[in-house]
Structure 1
Amino acid sequence: MSRIQQTAVVGAGTMGNGIAHVFALHGHDVTLIDVDQDRLDAAVTTIEENLNRQVDKDKIGSGEREEALDRLQTTTDTAEGVADVGLAVEAVPEEQELKAEIFGTLDRHAPDDAILASNTSSISITWIAAQTERPARVIGMHFFNPVPVMTLVEVVRGQRTSEATFDTVSGLAEELDKKPVEVEDYPGFVSNRVLMPMINEAVFCVMEGVADPDDIDTVMTLGMNHPMGPLTLADFIGLDVCLHIMEVLHEELGDDKYRPCPLLRRKVTAGQLGRKTGEGFFSYDA
C-alpha cells in the first residue's frame, strides 16, 4: 500500500473530475482545484451523476457513493488546496505556459516530500519537472477517458524521476484498480505515438477521397475489431487535441510521417472540433 492518502487534482474538466472521482472512491481525501467556481460545481455534479450510475449498475453500493462524496472537497485556492497533500495531479489543458505556471505554484506550496504528477498526453515530463525544484518527485500519470471506466494509466518517467517516485505512483495506480504501464519520456509516450498517426492517416483517407468517414470507421470496427472507428474517436477526443499532439510528434521527432493532415488543420481552424462543438467528421446533437 502507498502511504499517500491526501491528494489534490488541479483542473476540474473532464479528466480532472474523473481522476478525483477515482481517488475519492478508493479511499483518498481529494481536493479538486480550479480557478472557476462554476466549473468546480459542475464537476461535483458530474461526479455525483457518475457515482449514481455506478450504483445503478451494481458496481458500487450506495454507502460507497456517500463515502466518496464525503471525501471530496473543492477550492479555487491552489496554495491552500495542496498544503497537506502527498500527491498533486495536474489535469489542465495542454498548454506549456499554463503547466509551467501550475507546477511552479505546486512546487512552492505542496509539502517538500509531495509527488507532483501530470496527466499530460503529449508534453515532456522532463520539461515539466524542470519547472520545479524537485524533478526527482515529478512524474507522468496519464489516465484515459472516461477515467472511472478505463483501466490503463501510463506512468511516465522523466529524465530525473526517482525510482522511489515511480514505485509509489505505480503502486498507487494499482490501488485505484488501474493497470500501470511503465513508459519513458518520449513524444506521445506509447498511446498517442501509436494512436494519433492512425487517426491522422484516416483523415488523409477522407481528404484524398479514398472513402467517406462512415466507411473508413466501418473498415476499422468490422475489419480490425476496433470498438470505435478512428474518426469517431477523433471527434470524441477533440480534433484540436489531435492536431496539437500531431504537431508535438512532428516537431519533436522531426519526421514527416507525423505531418498533420491539412484537412485536420482546416477543420480545427473552422471550429469543427468534434462532439464538443457539435460537428467534426460527424454531426452531433447539442
Structure 2
Amino acid sequence: MSGRFVVVGAGTMGLGIAYVAAGAGYAVELVEVDRDRARAAATRLGELWNRAVRGGRLDAGQAVTNQERLTPRAALAEVAPEPDVVVEAVPERRDLKRAVLGEAEALRPALLGSNTSSIPIAELAAGLARPENFLGLHFFNPVWAMTLLEIVVGPATAAPTTEAAVALADRLGKDPVVVRDMPGFATSRLGVTLGLEAIRMVADGVADPADIDKAMVLGYRHPVGPLELTDLVGLDVRLDIARTLQAAYGDRFAPPPLLVEMVADGRLGKKSGQGFYRWADGRRVDADTDPASAGRTR
C-alpha cells in the first residue's frame, strides 16, 4: 500500500492520526507552525512507536518503517500538490480551522477532512471552492487504541467523498459511524453532556472525582469515567466544545464555572500534568481534590 497522507497540526490528535496513517502504509507529512516544532513532533512519534515496541504491541522493524514513512513539515507550502488525504487537526477555533482548510484545499487533495469535534462542517466548508470533497473525520484519543471514526457529512459533501472516507476508515483499522452535520455531531453532544454534569457534581461536593468516575465505570460499564476522560481530552478542548454547543443549543451546555476556572489556572488535564487528577509521564498518579474545593458551592 502507498499514498500520501498530510496531517496539519501536531498536537495530541494530530500525532495520533499520523501514527495510525503511517501504520496503514501511507507516506505521512506532519505539518507544524515552525521547523523546531515539526521536528519535535517527529521525535515524539518515534518515542510513541518505541514505547509500543517495548510494550509488545508493535514489531521493532515496523516501528522503524513507520518512522521512515514520516516527514515533518514546517508549513503547508512545503507539501507537494495532490496528496491523497489531508486532515486538519489544529485547535478547535473556527477562524483558525477555516484558514488552514483554505490553504490545504489549494493542494487539491483527493479527500479533505477536519478533525473538529463540534464545529459544524457547513461552517468550515463555507469558504472552500470544492466543499463536495470535504467532510468531518473525527478521531478519538488515543487514536491508535480507539477504533471509532465519526464521519460527519456536510450539506455539500458528495456521496463519493463519504464512500472514500468509509474506505479510509477501513484502511486505518477504524470502525466508522456516518452522521449528519449538526453542532457536536453525535459523540461530542452526548459525551460533553455527561462530562459537564460530572464537573457540576464535583463543584457541588456530591463526591470526589475518583468516586464519580468509579460510579460510571462500575455502574454503567464505561471504560473510563467522565472526569478522567475530560483530563485525557483536555479541559481547554472540553471548554471550547461546550461553548460551541451552548451557542447552538442554549444554556444546557453552558460550561460550569469550575471548568472555566481550571482552564484559566492552566489545569488542563494530562497534557499539563494537572486536572481532576495528577499526571506524570503520561499516566494518572492519584486523585486531586483541589478542583472540587475550588468550585464547591454547597
* Counterpart in the other structure of 2:263: 268
Taking the aligned partners of 1:65 and 1:282, their CA distance within structure 2 comes to 31
- The structural deviation recorded for 1:147 is 1.1
1:133-178 deviation line (CA, Å, top 9, x unaligned)? 0100011111111111111110110110000000001111101111
**8 Å CA contact retained: 2:34, 2:75:** no
* Counterpart in the other structure of 1:37: 35
- Unpaired runs of at least 5, structure 1: none
Q: Secondary structure at the match of 1:283?
A: strand
Q: Match for 1:204: what amino acid? A: R
Q: Match for 1:284: what amino acid? A: W
- Unpaired runs of at least 5, structure 2: 282-298
Q: 229-238 vs 198-207, which deviates more?
A: 229-238
Taking the aligned partners of 2:70 and 2:181, their CA distance within structure 1 comes to 31
1:239-278 alignment, distance < 5 Å: 239-254=235-250, 256-278=251-273
Q: Match for 2:187: what amino acid? A: S
- The structural deviation recorded for 1:285 is 4.2
Taking the aligned partners of 2:269 and 2:53, their CA distance within structure 1 comes to 30
Task: Give the ranges of 4+ consecutive aligned residues of structure 1 lying more than 6 Å apart after TM superposition.
Answer: none
1:25 to 23, 26, 44: 23
**8 Å CA contact retained: 2:111, 2:164:** no
Taking the aligned partners of 2:27 and 2:280, their CA distance within structure 1 comes to 37
1:219-248 deviation line (CA, Å, top 9, x unaligned)? 112222222221121122111111111111
Q: Match for 2:178: what amino acid? A: E
Q: Match for 2:209: what amino acid? A: P
Q: 185-194 vs 82-91, which deviates more?
A: 82-91
Taking the aligned partners of 2:280 and 2:51, their CA distance within structure 1 comes to 22
- The structural deviation recorded for 1:276 is 2.5
Q: Secondary structure at the match of 1:284?
A: strand
Q: Match for 2:270: what amino acid? A: R
* Counterpart in the other structure of 2:122: 126
Q: Match for 1:273: what amino acid? A: L
Taking the aligned partners of 1:47 and 1:274, their CA distance within structure 2 comes to 21
User: Residue 224 in 1 paired to residue 220 in 2?
Assistant: yes
User: Residue 62 in 1 paired to residue 57 in 2?
Assistant: no
1:39-74 deviation line (CA, Å, top 9, x unaligned)? 222221222122223333443323322222222111
Q: Match for 2:240: what amino acid? A: H
Taking the aligned partners of 1:270 and 1:70, their CA distance within structure 2 comes to 39
Taking the aligned partners of 1:34 and 1:187, their CA distance within structure 2 comes to 27
Taking the aligned partners of 1:207 and 1:60, their CA distance within structure 2 comes to 42
User: Residue 201 in 1 paired to residue 184 in 2?
Assistant: no
Cα RMSD, aligned residues only: 1.8
Q: Percent identity?
A: 44
* Counterpart in the other structure of 2:288: none
Q: Match for 2:252: what amino acid? A: K
Q: 32-41 vs 159-168, which deviates more?
A: 32-41
* Counterpart in the other structure of 1:172: 168
Pick closer, same or farther for the CA change 1:246–1:210 going to 2, 3 Å. Answer: same
Taking the aligned partners of 1:282 and 1:65, their CA distance within structure 2 comes to 31
* Counterpart in the other structure of 1:52: 50
1:2-28 deviation line (CA, Å, top 9, x unaligned)? xx8112111111111211111111111
**8 Å CA contact retained: 1:82, 1:88:** no
- The structural deviation recorded for 1:253 is 1.7
Q: 96-105 vs 32-41, which deviates more?
A: 32-41
Taking the aligned partners of 1:191 and 1:143, their CA distance within structure 2 comes to 11
Q: Secondary structure at the match of 2:17?
A: helix
* Counterpart in the other structure of 1:9: 7
